[in-house]
Amino acid sequence: MAWPDIQSLPTASGAAAVSRAREKFESRALDRLLRLPQPTLRRIAGPPVRLDGQTLDLETQATLRLKELTHEPSVEDLPIPQGRRALTRQCALAGGRQPIGAVVPLRVSGAEGELPARLYVPRAQATSRHSSTTGGPLLFYAHGGGMIYGDLDSHDALCRFLAEHAQTRVLSVDYRLAPEHPFPAPVEDGWAAFRWTVDNATRLGADPARIAVGGDSAGGALAAGIALEAASAGIPVAFQLLLYPVTDMAAETGSRKLFAEGFFLTQEFIELASTSYMRDGQDPTDPRVSVAYAPVPSGLAPALVVTAGFDPLRDEGEAYAAKLAAAGVKVEQVRYPGFIHGFANVVGVGRIQRAAVAEIAGRLRVAMG
């Protein structure tokens, strides 16, 4: 496979350009709304929402209220193809257009053929047409979306933001999705793509000993599984960045019950994702489905496990962090009590969530040296 020159993504044309212009306008409008004085924003959002000893973040509450007022459909209420487009649009609206040094479109090895991928290079490392920095840290990233949604575009802003603020190259991989490709296709693609990344580290400008794995939600599950398999195989992983990961598909936790409705990620979404991803009769406690049931091998990479207070997945993420810590793994577990699932994609509007993701990127930067 020919190694492409570092380049920006192609400029959109026609209908795509119109759509992008509309997203840009809507993103700016939402950003201005969220930056209104707090008393004004409170009148829009409504009375404070307090649950389980936590208060919902004001910017988050205002965004949820705006979604309600504009009758924005939830992705799980749409046919899956339309839901995929809706999720990507919502992520683009919340993520904005983040600066980056360069983006390299790639094809990487999957379990049954090549997969689309993007390498994000921070501005400080993209000082010339060809990469001028080699042997640095790299984050292998798996996007979220319940194994049925999400792609390179949905998480483009987040990957740009992480790369730039962590000063770490980010390789985002577009694995196969259910229901067209149910379990174990995403797991197998993730592992194959990670092995390709390790084998091609020098071509990616990365030090093979400084490759981290990361992901959000379902992508967090993939990243955690890759780290477990790599440790068992004796392949070094420098770090795990697990953003509100799915860890237990059989869970009936308190947070799944408390936040089942009204906080973006719903029980209906979770059920759709589960039934689309797992075939009839599939055991949800299979360690490749739910890392909560996997043995913890020696040499497992240190981890940062991030959770959100108003997220149905909160409790299982924190339980997984506790399990790793009990097994002797170096773990930092951080909860953002006022946030909801998906907050890491909100780097282009408002202030509070963007600041939190910058903090997470800073922790990644320190961990990667």
- Cβ burial 305-340 (10 Å sphere, 16+ → b, else e): bbbbbbbbbbbbbbbbbebbeeeebebebebbebbb
Phi and psi at residue 300, to the nearest 5°: -65, 140
Instruction: Show Cβ contacts of residue 292 under 8 Å, excluding neighbours closer than 6 positions.
Output: 247, 248, 251, 316, 319, 320, 323
Q: Is 171 helix (H, G, I), strand (E, B) or coil?
A: strand
d(CA 81, CA 187): 21
Q: CA torsion 223→229→232→236, rounded to 10°?
A: -50
Tokens of 191: 């592992």
Q: Which amino acid is at 75?
A: V
Cis upstream peptide for 47 (omega within 30°): no
Number of separate helices (H) and strands (E) present in the chain? 11, 10
Under a CB-based contact definition with an 8 Å cutoff, are residues 289 and 319 in contact?
no
Q: Which residues are catalytic?
A: 217, 311, 341
How many CA atoms are closer than 13 Å to the CA of 298, on its beta-carbon side?
Answer: 0
